[in-house]
Structure 1
């Protein structure tokens, strides 16, 4: 059975866990185990080592579907799956060793906030990284570091055993509460050289997935999950509008012109964002599959599509939240959770206003650094 069908079969149980996920600020262990069993966390890992090596559209659809079921679950799955691209930078033997654990889940933070010091056979690593989604359930954690290899520090990424890393309980937030995006800290942990890599260097592993621009690959799931959340808001508003009545007139909300307009505009925003993002994903995928280089303009358009989809999804949810009136204020209403979750997604640095500025500069052929694309 295709993984998307298996994920859809799981979604009723995901929705049933929503209140527990919010309350615990974490996914239930059984749900994480089931996602692992479906291979969700292996989607971007190399097939030769036991991963799925899925194409980006398949990953998009999985993230969107899980985001539709629950925003936190979609985000958690997206982080676990996308971070698996790191295994494409490792030797087959090392990647196979990591993937041998049926509980395999890799997460972490790519930003170079740690320090790596060269040591015989590897590195001594220390650092603290915020926003490490899925950190409590991960089996491995990536930490971005700076290492002195000459006169200037260079970025290096290391893969740490989760058992050696301290998770600080810092994720007490408004939206995406169940992602468990706590701070993680490493104190003088030895990392063997075979578990160190650099995202700044081209991948040597063959296959189009590993030629796909890494920033775009790590970013597109934000748009996918946000669109899934917006789809859930559309479904909830449609249900509410059919039954909620004006106490004075008895008229259902669906008969109100403003409600109809809000739903129509929300559907348009979600559809446009989805079409733009999947179109750019498909375009870049065709290039890398054909062995062609992905230029700065193509990478800029992909990142622009991610930001547009994410912010369009938030605008769609805003329209429906407003049109629902006082009903959307109650904790029993899924709309308030969709509102909080989608706005948490818009706060990610990968979809910030500076990304729009950078993409615009590239499309205007201005001389700007493009490593972030």
Structure 2
């Protein structure tokens, strides 16, 4: 009951209207700057500061530390809207939800983290996990980690350590200050090029045990968001980036359909039956996958608000719906390319860039083919077949 009362608090109408206008301004600025981010391969601090201003990086901060927790579906909607403008920025912003991981830190550590305010940017290079020598105070961290999306603007960084007896085998994350890490800008990709998913190098830094947490471990904060399945939420925020990218591809296809005739003299795209059919199919597929995805999120959130824990079956459905949305989103973009003639073969064509962006969520370990196997196993009463499924 306490959790439900905390979550029911809502901003006043004037504040909500102001926040909405601010978010629209951020989207407008992003349209002007997305090529800049792509070319430099990361979203810079000044734009991340804009995302802070509209609440992206306090949406998962504990209310006791000044956070404005959003129901997951509301946060997912914001990430989808950002991703429809620029997938890379949506991807970086999605890690505003990663503060749910930090809820597993001791309360004293969290108080130190949020000492300067609730808007905290956390970026992690979690793989490959590197063994850290135990010390009297904690762990001696040394190694190199990949895929630290958003690290260039992060306030704190995390690196992945293997599980141990104290963590019941679940992996740990060591939390460090940026000045304790070296960022190596190794990121040459065709999709999500602007995410700055660079490597992190740490050399012989002792991290106190209280500055490590178990990923998916029990939260030290008893607030609603931290009872929503943590790993499932981490999967959802990535999947919805793909949905935003697919929406951008559909918007392009619908706009271009009536304006370009083929160089062979063929009719405009919108005058070709196969093009109209593919656009309609893509629209139906994306809307259907989104509807299931958001409905499930609301269902599980209502379970949490009622003071109950999400069931294994609900977690499996969340993971399944996320993997499905990521795949459908990628399929939508590729299907539109197939019916768009020779235009998309050119470097820099919008659909080619969007296809690369849509590929990334689908390929992520949280959303890959193995998730279907684990979800199916759980739904039939068996243990999941992949580690870290919950």
Give matches, 1:237-256, under 5 Å. Answer: 237-247=253-263, 249=265, 251-256=267-272
Give matches, 1:34-53, under 5 Å. Answer: 34-53=50-69
Which of 286, 290, 293 matches 2:309? 293
Provide the aligned length of Structure 1 versus Structure 2: 372
List alignment gaps of at least 5 residues for structure 1. none
- 8 Å CA contact 1:118–1:124 kept in 2: the answer is yes
Q: Distance in 1 between matches of 2:190 and 2:264?
A: 34
Q: Distance in 1 between matches of 2:370 and 2:169?
A: 24
Q: What is aligned with 1:372?
A: 389
Question: Which deviates further from its counterpart, 5-14 or 62-71?
Answer: 5-14
Q: Shift of residue 78 of structure 1?
A: 0.6
- 8 Å CA contact 2:58–2:67 kept in 1: the answer is yes
Question: Which deviates further from its counterpart, 16-25 or 193-202?
Answer: 193-202
List alignment gaps of at least 5 residues for structure 2. 1-14
Which of 346, 352, 361 matches 1:336? 352
Q: What is aligned with 2:76?
A: 60
Matched, 1:9 2:25: yes
Matched, 1:140 2:162: no
Relative to the length of structure 1, the TM-score reads 0.92
1:96–1:38 Cα change, 3 Å: farther
Q: Distance in 1 between matches of 2:82 and 2:131?
A: 35
Give matches, 1:60-99, under 5 Å. Answer: 60-79=76-95, 81-99=96-114
Q: What is aligned with 2:296?
A: 280
Question: Which deviates further from its counterpart, 312-321 or 135-144?
Answer: 135-144
Question: Which deviates further from its counterpart, 331-340 or 83-92?
Answer: 83-92
- 8 Å CA contact 1:273–1:312 kept in 2: the answer is yes
Question: Which deviates further from its counterpart, 118-127 or 15-24?
Answer: 118-127
- 8 Å CA contact 2:190–2:353 kept in 1: the answer is no
Give matches, 1:170-319, under 5 Å. Answer: 170-247=186-263, 249=265, 251-319=267-335
In angstroms, what is the RMSD of aligned CA positions?
Answer: 2.3
Q: Shift of residue 32 of structure 1?
A: 1.9
- 8 Å CA contact 2:122–2:156 kept in 1: the answer is yes
Q: Shift of residue 332 of structure 1?
A: 4.2
1:5–1:277 Cα change, 3 Å: farther
Q: Distance in 2 between matches of 1:202 and 1:117?
A: 24
Q: What is aligned with 2:3?
A: none
Q: What is aligned with 1:163?
A: 179
Q: Secondary structure at the match of 2:298?
A: helix
Q: Shift of residue 186 of structure 1?
A: 1.5
Which of 342, 365, 372 matches 1:349? 365
Relative to the length of structure 2, the TM-score reads 0.88
- 8 Å CA contact 2:44–2:152 kept in 1: the answer is no
Q: Shift of residue 153 of structure 1?
A: 6.5
Q: Secondary structure at the match of 2:381?
A: coil
- 8 Å CA contact 1:117–1:123 kept in 2: the answer is yes
Deviations 1:146-191 (A, max 9, x none): 3655799763222111121112222111110001111212222122
Q: Distance in 1 between matches of 2:347 and 2:166?
A: 55
Q: Secondary structure at the match of 2:191?
A: coil
Q: Distance in 1 between matches of 2:170 and 2:357?
A: 35
Q: Shift of residue 250 of structure 1?
A: 6.9
Q: Shift of residue 50 of structure 1?
A: 2.5
